[in-house]
Amino acid sequence: MRDDRGSATVEAAIGISALTFVSALLLAGAGVATDQLRCTDAAREAARLLARGQPARAEQAVREIAPRGARLDVVREGDAITAGVEAEPVAGLLPGIRLRSRAFAIAEPGSGP
């Protein structure tokens, strides 16, 4: 006859560890999705403000809307403006993953170069 005492404890510990790991993955995924939406919103707002000739407000909008440490890249070709926002998701807790979003706008007349 085998002694099975303690086997339920080991199985419970393994089950709890697996549940904790899956929960952490779900939370990280939700954080990435939220930060991607914030990058998209920031890029859209920056493109709109750049089209109106307000680059300082565009950078301020990215600082306020996008995740911390996000970077704004602007490409202007004639009247076409492309605003790109790049950031690390979940405050940099997921190394090697970068979020990127771009938005396009046409400059309003008289908005400057």
Q: What is the pLDDT of residues 47-96, one digit of tens each?
A: 999 999 999 999 999 999 999 999 999 999 999 999 999 999 887 777 88
Q: What is the pLDDT of residue 95?
A: 82
- Cα–Cα distance for residue pair 83/105, rounded to 1 Å: 8
> Which H or E run includes 101?
strand 99-106
- Three-state secondary structure call for residue 1: coil
Closest CA to 82 of 37, 50, 35: 50
- Three-state secondary structure call for residue 87: strand
- Cα–Cα distance for residue pair 20/79, rounded to 1 Å: 51
> Model-level pTM?
0.80
Torsion of CA 57, 44, 100, 90, to 10 degrees: 70
- Cα–Cα distance for residue pair 106/83, rounded to 1 Å: 11
- Residue found under tokens 């990215």: 62
Closest CA to 25 of 108, 94, 96: 94
> How many CA atoms lie within 13 Å of 112's alpha carbon, on the beta-carbon side?
6
Q: What is the pLDDT of residue 84?
A: 97
